[in-house]
């Protein structure tokens, strides 16, 4: 094989890989991926969640779709977007982990925002799995019901954080309560733990989120058919 042919092969190959990097080179697109890791959504829902215009959200989704990172299905006049497969979820989680390890600025931003977390005990995947096997905890999924229905930790109860105070009677006080949400940068579990502790519950925050649990191959279930 001629060197020129080898060089052309390598150039073309790595340019294709670079399409993935280019698609991920926007904070807004990374946020869209994190949301789609919870459940599929319409452009309108994604725009509302991220504070973008529908046109801007649609443009970012088209970039992700061109790199085969998201798929779309049509239902009437609506387009529903989802991650193309589990590899995209693992790619996002790996990128997040590398960023946390290598960029001190990420740690500073997180610490500045989550000032109260130092006093809020968190549980890991390993610890939560042990507690679930013994039945010593009640796990609350405090994300929106749509996300719970698309997939949740097996045995978790759905009580969205905005309904929590009205539904406290559904939660046993004699058990430890573990609240989880979308991931380590989501505030829903923090808000839930604060509410529960103020009402006298022994409550902990799950350190990760549903995508972290799912990516590790731990037990999950759905409330709706795939």
Question: CB–CB of 28/60 below 8 Å?
Answer: yes
Catalytic residue from among 159, 181, 193, 203: 181
186 is catalytic: no
Backbone angles phi, psi at 48, to 5 degrees: -65, -40
Question: CB–CB of 141/206 below 8 Å?
Answer: no
Catalytic residue annotation: 181
């Amino acid at each position: 094989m001629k060197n020129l042919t080898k060089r052309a092969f390598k150039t073309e190959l790595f340019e294709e890989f670079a399409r993935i990097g280019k698609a991920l080179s926007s904070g807004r697109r990374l946020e869209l991926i994190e949301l789609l890791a919870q459940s599929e959504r319409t452009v309108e829902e994604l725009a509302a969640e991220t504070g973008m215009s529908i046109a801007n959200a649609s443009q970012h989704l088209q970039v992700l779709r061109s790199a085969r990172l998201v798929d779309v299905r049509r239902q009437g006049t609506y387009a529903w977007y989802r991650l193309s497969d589990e590899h995209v979820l693992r790619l996002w989680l790996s990128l997040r982990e590398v960023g946390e390890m290598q960029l001190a600025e990420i740690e500073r931003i997180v610490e500045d925002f989550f000032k109260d977390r130092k006093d809020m005990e968190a549980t890991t995947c390993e610890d939560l799995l042990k507690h679930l096997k013994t039945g010593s905890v009640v796990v609350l999924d405090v994300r929106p019901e749509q996300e719970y229905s698309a997939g949740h930790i097996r045995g978790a109860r759905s009580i969205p954080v905005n309904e929590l105070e009205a539904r406290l009677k559904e939660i046993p006080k004699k058990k430890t309560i573990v609240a989880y949400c979308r991931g380590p940068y989501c505030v829903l579990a923090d808000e839930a733990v604060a509410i529960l502790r103020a009402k006298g519950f022994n409550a902990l925050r799950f350190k990760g989120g549903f995508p972290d649990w799912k990516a590790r191959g731990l037990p999950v279930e759905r409330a709706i058919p795939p």
